[in-house]
Structure 1
Amino acid sequence: MKRERLDKVLANMGWGTRKEVKQLVKQGLVTVNGNAVADPGQHVIPEQDDIAVDGHPLAYRRWIYIMLNKPSGVISATEDNRHRTVVDLLPLEWANRVHPVGRLDIDTEGLLLLTNDGQLSHNLLSPKKKVEKEYYARIAGIVQPEHVRRFAEGITLDDGYVTLPAKLEILSAAAVSEVNVTITEGKFHQVKRMFAALGLKVVYLKRIRMGPLVLDETLVPGAYRELTDAELAALKGEDR
């Protein structure tokens, strides 16, 4: 197991900045294996050593995997000067350590994976892997079988890029149609631009699946939970 500086571990777990952690140490509030710490730069094995701050034990895990039902109005980033971010929805001990895997537009809801596992993130986002992303959408206008064919062939976007073949499933065709869309890319505003190229407008968009990971519909917008062992195993199988 990897040794790390104590002040870095505590800062990452939400106990403050490195400077604030040093003050906690100076006040004698930090213990390792029952002994008060004098040096904030002391090296520890966080998964193995018993670390406590003011008597509160530190529950440390190296890897974190969170499923979030992203609400509209927050951005898929770790920090922003104007908008609330997805990590702002999480407790500090997670928020300081994780990043979103990919991004959803500010007005798009649904499944977002947050983790500190950079290798998993890279593999799930790699264009070579062609990991499926499935969305539920409401469309202003009647979606027709011809549109299903066009999606299957690939859509030419406004910048001339031709998307990879995508799956369009019509759930209902009306003045506001309901559809499921599955893509294997992640171009900027891709689903919205694909429909725009057909003269249709997306009025609501929600991601419901990424690879084998399906949104837990018991999570209300803004709610989150850790992945189950089965979900994580399936994701790691997808990233091979």
Structure 2
Amino acid sequence: MRLDKFLAQSDLGMRKRVRDYVKDGCVKVNGEVIWEPAIEINESSDVIEYLGKVIVYTGKVYYMFNKPAGCVTARKDAVNKTVFDYFDNENMNGIFHVGRLDKDTEGLLLLTNDGEFERKLMDPQNHVEKTYFFWALGSLDKEDIKQLEQGISLGKGKIQTAPSKIEVQKNGLYKEFEQEMASENLCNINQNYYNLPAVSGYLTISEGRNHQVKRMLKAVGCYVLYLKRVSIGALKLDDSLERGQYRHLALSEDECNEV
């Protein structure tokens, strides 16, 4: 295993930071100061020290988190609560979020110290599907669905989106679904919407453009009121997790290996 990978997976910090530790002469392997972060070490038998302290290898760590609305996907924020604020009881050194969700978007967020796992999920060339549940003002007819599924322009001069999948759940008036929306903790229930059309469904995309789901639906005349990511590849949000709760994902879980 590479030294920098060992250090990052031992909760010492992210890969970029631990490389600096090595280059600054802070790391020893079997009593010898090492200056090259990329050297190969044996994590089972070599003794690795940082500033004189022996580092215990913790291995790869994965978390599934049900992100609530109102917090930002960041390690620190001067104004808003962050997703890391929900992990007070965990050592989060070296842990980072896999992709991100908007402040007002809920649902599945993964956190790990495994850079290869992150790249596998987030590399656009891998076309990993991500599915979102939505409530929106507006309606979706057959032509709208066809546009979304075939790919749609998000604005003048913008590259058309890749093909997507959409499954409409409900089409009707806002007032018909008010109670159902409230159960999703929708914060902007508005009586002015009562006689407007509303629609819910699942949209699956394989890209990660900025605000993509909201922009795609807006392109066919729908204004998103509520958005929740429910799956990334083969990983589905655990229904038992309440908003703001998380659980470990073990390497032995089939869902980790199938992503």
Q: Deviations over 1:152-191 (max 9, x none)?
A: 1101002522100000101111132110000000100000
Q: Deviations over 1:102-140 (max 9, x none)?
A: 011000000000001111101110000000000110111
CA contact (8 A) 1:69 1:221 kept: yes
Tell me the residue number matched to 1:171.
Answer: 169
CA contact (8 A) 1:64 1:94 kept: no
Tell me the residue number matched to 1:44.
Answer: 54
Residue 179 to residue 10, structure 1, CA distance change in 2 (3 Å):
closer
Higher relative contact order at CA 8 Å, sep ≥6: structure 1 or structure 2? 2
Alignment root-mean-square deviation, CA = 2.6
Listed as ranges, the gaps of 5+ residues in structure 2 are 14-48, 174-197
Listed as ranges, the gaps of 5+ residues in structure 1 are 13-38, 48-60
Q: Which amino acid aligns with 2:255?
A: A
2:225 alignment partner, SS class: strand
1:93 alignment partner, SS class: coil
1:196 alignment partner, SS class: helix
1:68 alignment partner, SS class: strand
1:199 alignment partner, SS class: coil
Q: Which amino acid aligns with 2:247?
A: R
Give the drift of 1:211: 0.3
CA distance in 2 between partners of 1:88 and 1:110 (Å) = 16
Tell me the residue number matched to 1:220.
Answer: 242
Task: Give percent identity, aligned residues only.
Answer: 39
Residue 182 to residue 10, structure 1, CA distance change in 2 (3 Å):
closer
Tell me the residue number matched to 2:138.
Answer: 141
TM-score (ref. length: structure 2)? 0.69
What does 1:103-122 align with in structure 2 at a 5 Å threshold? 103-122=100-119
Tell me the residue number matched to 1:22.
Answer: none
**Total equivalences in the alignment:** 197
TM-score (ref. length: structure 1)? 0.74
CA contact (8 A) 2:234 2:258 kept: no
Tell me the residue number matched to 2:256.
Answer: 235
CA distance in 1 between partners of 2:155 and 2:203 (Å) = 19
In the alignment, structure 1 residue 151 sits paired with structure 2 residue 148: yes
Q: 2:81 aligns with which of 77, 80, 84?
A: 84
CA distance in 2 between partners of 1:40 and 1:46 (Å) = 10
